[in-house]
Structure 1
């Protein structure tokens, strides 16, 4: 695997071919590669004249070559004088430690699917034009990509405008620092930290419940930043109207921007996530293996990637090539916890109890609304949970595949229009998965 120094050497060879020996040695012979971090390359030169000439004449081609050799888009190049290098590196280190960002979370490695399309589009829009949606409120279950998108927004903003003051913190960290500031009488320092910034990202805001003083402080922080035109991004495991004991004024402000949810990824998206992860690890994974893992693990992205790691480790430790059989052995306890215990009958029984409709009625030809809705929900959940074929779903309740398609589409439409209905399905699905 190539190191960053190897990538830089490849850049130099390409530049030499582009410019010719004389121009290359004149202007680039003095350059030294220092570091590559957060999509930024730092290069050192001993002469300001060389730096200014490269910026004026060669920066576009140098950037293009670096993007190709480092295999990254939107690379930022910093040309630094030798005497300024220590200060630049200290500033970079200080900013990285203060903003708490994970630089591995970028838009380029976020897999887009129907479950997260709106949240991704909104995040990109905010990153490109801070303030366009303010606040941006992302919500969804644990491990579905909210934190990834938040860090990606911040990393993109810093890439485009490195001097932007960005701060990411969990709600718990905000609360703990508030308590410490009160105890140590450092309220001014606390407020300067959270209010003298351009972009504030607060993760897991639902933990603000039952914390009256934290809600009060965050309310004033929110207002101060919003009134100053600063961007606020918030994440939660539920929408604002479902966060218990949240003050109405905070609830109102959270709802005043754009609210975007992230749902559990479907089979196709889960497969794409696995293939993207394998690619990042320089591992070639057979299609049938990625599909098997995607079918076996449906809960969230963290567990999905954890299953992939487990399969790869099992392959490495046993010396056996990746295959469905190997994946079955590696994940046998996980599969037993999910697919073995959940069947079409399990889902049918759960739907029957949920809608207070008999199983025989779901399988019957009756078309009155409660029964029809229950029947369509069964079709939808069987597809979602078991990834069962349309043909098999239809057979289980004496329907053809076109009826199943129609039923699933009806439920998908209702989910988009009726938030209460969507939430009731989430609860029902959780009950089935936790049986």
Structure 2
């Protein structure tokens, strides 16, 4: 039981919440399986009583405000969600949160639900995916239980519908969402909606619904910056009791710039590879373990992590040495070239570039840029290194 909980419970919760079927899983073993059980059918029968208990409100116990990392990219939606959680039906109604996949929309919605349930225990809260809402509607039509369906959704105090873009082109689902929205909003009940795009960009959704989605507050979550990505990884590692070296955390944050789910997936992968293979968590090992993810970043926007990789390869040095405080001539030059390219090929600030190289003072970056600019005019070797890296972008 304990091994299943430690290795699989969080993943099971996450998978269930993605499918919209509720998430608070508890594992109980009602009967211990003895080693002398001989027949396969008896062994299976003995295992069946293990019971899963799902929360009826669809809330994931891991998604709470205290585990959400706030940065520049999500400060406004986070503040809006706190306001709604404190005063449901009053602050912003409806609250519409949009942003690309894996940026924290679902986390914030669940956090609102948990906060309301804690501070207002008698409040009826429900989180569903738009797909689950649609499936419930189809089931009610098939079983002739439309009244029960409508009562369930229209007698809530707080309704959260995730990934509402799923209802595009589904006329009957949109009809039910429309009337459910009206019933709740007219009763001053809170409605919270998420999507991967703003309301007016959702093709195939009726104008009357789009208009209602925009009645309250529409706010978006942007991809996190480097510092926020590092903080997210540190928080995830803390929650899961992972021991991850700081340079590895920074390396992952630099190379997976846009998606929090991918960040967490990379973190889980390196921990699993390290444990299963009994290998140390070195930069070289991590680069191999995350090879497919790192390769994908090369086809996307240029980022500091990619430039560091290419410079390290070009100079024939390791990432550890590039990011270390060592001051040998070749390492110092490689570091300065990487800083120069980061300044000229990315939109990161001097402070962010310095942070990516474990340098607290951004004047180091200014000095590096000036030095490489001067060397490019006179030193063919330096020019060759820079051209080689740029040609691989």
Q: TM-score, normalised by structure 1?
A: 0.58
Instruction: Tell me how far 1:310 sits from its aligned partner.
Output: 1.0
Is the Cα–Cα contact under 8 Å of residues 229 and 253 in structure 2 kept in the other structure? yes
**Equivalent-residue separation in structure 1 for 2:345 and 2:146 (angstroms):** 51
Measured against aligned partners, the alpha-carbon deviations of 1:120-152 in whole angstroms (never above 9, x if no partner) come to 111111111112110010100011110011011
Aligned to 1:116: 74
Aligned to 1:382: 346
- Say which of 91, 96, 100 aligns to 2:58: 100
Pair 1:229 & 2:188 matched:
yes
* Larger relative contact order (Cα-Cα within 8 Å, sequence gap ≥ 6): 2
- Say which of 159, 174, 186 aligns to 1:215: 174
Instruction: Tell me how far 1:207 sits from its aligned partner.
Output: 1.1
Aligned to 1:296: 255
Paired residue secondary structure (1:98): coil
Is the Cα–Cα contact under 8 Å of residues 382 and 393 in structure 1 kept in the other structure? no
Paired residue secondary structure (1:235): strand
**Equivalent-residue separation in structure 1 for 2:182 and 2:368 (angstroms):** 52
Unaligned runs of 5+ in 1: 3-36, 39-92, 348-377, 400-434
Aligned to 1:280: 239
**Equivalent-residue separation in structure 1 for 2:120 and 2:212 (angstroms):** 27
Is the Cα–Cα contact under 8 Å of residues 208 and 246 in structure 1 kept in the other structure? yes
- Say which of 115, 126, 134 aligns to 1:167: 126
**Equivalent-residue separation in structure 2 for 1:140 and 1:393 (angstroms):** 36
Pair 1:239 & 2:198 matched:
yes
- Say which of 147, 152, 170 aligns to 1:188: 147
Is the Cα–Cα contact under 8 Å of residues 297 and 304 in structure 1 kept in the other structure? yes
Measured against aligned partners, the alpha-carbon deviations of 1:232-286 in whole angstroms (never above 9, x if no partner) come to 1000000011111222211111111011101111111111111111111222322
**Equivalent-residue separation in structure 2 for 1:291 and 1:333 (angstroms):** 18
Superposed CA RMSD: 3.2
Pair 1:324 & 2:288 matched:
no
Summarize the Cα distance change of 1:264–1:343 in structure 2 as closer, same or farther, 3 Å threshold: closer
Instruction: Tell me how far 1:176 sits from its aligned partner.
Output: 1.5
Summarize the Cα distance change of 1:161–1:141 in structure 2 as closer, same or farther, 3 Å threshold: same
Aligned to 2:164: 205
Aligned to 1:312: 271
Summarize the Cα distance change of 1:284–1:223 in structure 2 as closer, same or farther, 3 Å threshold: same
Instruction: Tell me how far 1:337 sits from its aligned partner.
Output: 2.5
Summarize the Cα distance change of 1:221–1:273 in structure 2 as closer, same or farther, 3 Å threshold: same
Is the Cα–Cα contact under 8 Å of residues 204 and 236 in structure 1 kept in the other structure? yes
Summarize the Cα distance change of 1:150–1:341 in structure 2 as closer, same or farther, 3 Å threshold: closer
Measured against aligned partners, the alpha-carbon deviations of 1:201-242 in whole angstroms (never above 9, x if no partner) come to 000101111111111111111011001010110000000111
**Count of residue pairs the alignment pairs up:** 276
Instruction: Tell me how far 1:340 sits from its aligned partner.
Output: 7.7
**Equivalent-residue separation in structure 2 for 1:182 and 1:218 (angstroms):** 15
Paired residue secondary structure (1:229): coil
Summarize the Cα distance change of 1:125–1:284 in structure 2 as closer, same or farther, 3 Å threshold: same
**Equivalent-residue separation in structure 2 for 1:392 and 1:196 (angstroms):** 64
Pair 1:145 & 2:109 matched:
no
Is the Cα–Cα contact under 8 Å of residues 69 and 231 in structure 2 kept in the other structure? yes
Aligned to 1:22: none
